[in-house]
Amino acid sequence: MQCDHVWLDARLATMAGEGIGIVDDGMVACTDGRIVYAGPAAEAPLLSASTTTRCTGRWITPGIVDCHTHLVYAGNRAGEFEARLAGATYEDIARAGGGIASTVSATRAADAHELLAESLPRLDALLAHGVTTVEIKSGYGLSLEHEAKMLRVAGALANVRNVRVRRTFLGAHAVPAEWRHNPDGYVTHIVDCMLPTIAAEGLADAVDAFCEGIGFSPAQVELVFAAAARAGLPIKLHAEQLSNLHGATLAARMGALSADHLEHADEEAVAAMAQAGTVAVLLPGAFYFTREDRLPPVGLLRSAGVPIAVATDCNPGTSPLVSPLLAMNMAATLFRLTVAECLMGTTRVAANALGIGDKIGTLEAGKACDLAIWDVGSPAELVYGIGSNPLHARIFGGINVG
């Protein structure tokens, strides 16, 4: 078989089958941007490749999938961080008109070029840590004009960097100031105008909402999700981050791809997620940065067989985190995830949280040839390091992009 590129003399963590799929003397072969073989070199079909890379024992994993970020925004919230250090809570700041609202003001004021320029360094940091697919949410525009601008910028990032971008419409992130006295009116505006327009313009791959006392009620979220279904878009939910409004149960019953955060989720939520196959996306950066003390119900999720993903939640208010490796370390240290759960959670399960597990997330024939090649002696080192970055190379669609 003739192929474009083979990577030889590598150790693989394929993330396929049981566990992380370790292959000691492994090989990956690629044609037209897709994997045609990944597995033991000794079992490979006869191949002749235009280009061969010897990996000298380095580890290859699927490219990292960061399945929950808000990385397109303007400004930052360092001042609010200082206020929180001095004793204010995240919810106090939000109720006083700061928090998300301050990022909304800055994001509305930025034009698309400025927004792109401010977002690029965050994307570049993720890419430097092996990310090949990133989900980016809107939610700091909160009007049709500015939500569409954010989503266009998110799409434009994929034109200026080698990365797959999945876009999520998060119009129901906060009630904007101009709708403060009529939150239900804002939800109606999302349902009747913003969401259908954004869907019709092909600006989003999914719809998300923030189900919380400072966000939207389950009844409001249900209206947004029904509109998503009418528009043919899958749903996700920020659920049970600060309190338990039973949003995860609602999301699972409506067939959500994922329910995210989940610190306050209960057994009913876990059972509903298990039944629906909804992925639990854990966001230890937000847990750490807000000094949350309630742990997500990892034991319950595990025993119910709910797939667990891990993401950065990169955002200016609760998780200014641009390292998926550090997210894995935090998930292990703070949430007691195993190394295998962390690695699956940022590859295969993360791809499922985006509904694209058939295209990316494992080293298997037919999937996109998105690889991360690491200078480590074992996969555990990827989770173990704090602030180190052992990425050797990033391969996107079969091309070495550094």
Residues that bind Fe ion (CB under 5 A): 313
For ligand DI6, which residue of 59, 186, 210, 287 counts as binding (CB under 6 A)?
210
- In the window 87-106, what residues touch ligand DI6 (CB under 6 A)? 99-100, 103
SS3 content of the chain, % helix, strand, coil (to 5): 40, 25, 35
Q: Does 353 bind ligand DI6 (CB under 6 A)?
A: no
State the alpha helices, DSSP H only, in 4-56.
none
Least gap, CB of 240 to ligand DI6 (angstroms)? 11
Q: Does 317 bind ligand DI6 (CB under 6 A)?
A: yes
Residue 58 interaction partner, one of Fe ion, ligand DI6, none, beta carbon < 5-8 Å per kind: none
State the DSSP code for 44.
P
Q: Closest residue to Fe ion, Cβ-based?
A: 313
Q: Does 318 bind ligand DI6 (CB under 6 A)?
A: yes
Stretch near ligand DI6 under the rule CB under 6 A, chosen from 143-151, 226-234, 248-256, 315-323: 315-323
Return all residues near 355 (Cβ < 8 A) that are at least 6 apart. Answer: 205, 206, 234, 257
Q: How far apart are CA 230 and CA 220, in angstroms?
A: 16
Q: Does 326 bind ligand DI6 (CB under 6 A)?
A: no
Residue 324 interaction partner, one of Fe ion, ligand DI6, none, beta carbon < 5-8 Å per kind: none
State the DSSP code for 16.
-
Strand 131-137: give its sheet, edge to edge.
64-66, 131-137, 164-172, 206-211, 236-239, 258-261, 279-282, 308-310
Q: Report whether 311 contacts 283 (CB < 8 A).
A: yes
Q: In 183-202, which positions are buried (b, 16+ CB within 10 angstroms) versus exposed (e)?
A: beebbebbbeebbeebbeee
Q: Does 316 bind ligand DI6 (CB under 6 A)?
A: yes
Residue 31 interaction partner, one of Fe ion, ligand DI6, none, beta carbon < 5-8 Å per kind: none
Nearer to ligand DI6 by Cβ, of 105 and 333: the residue is 105
Taking alpha carbons only, the member of 272, 279, 273, 271 closest to residue 357 is 279
Least gap, CB of 70 to ligand DI6 (angstroms)? 6
Q: Does 315 bind ligand DI6 (CB under 6 A)?
A: yes
The residues binding ligand DI6 (CB under 6 A) are 99-100, 103, 173, 210, 238, 241, 286, 313, 315-318
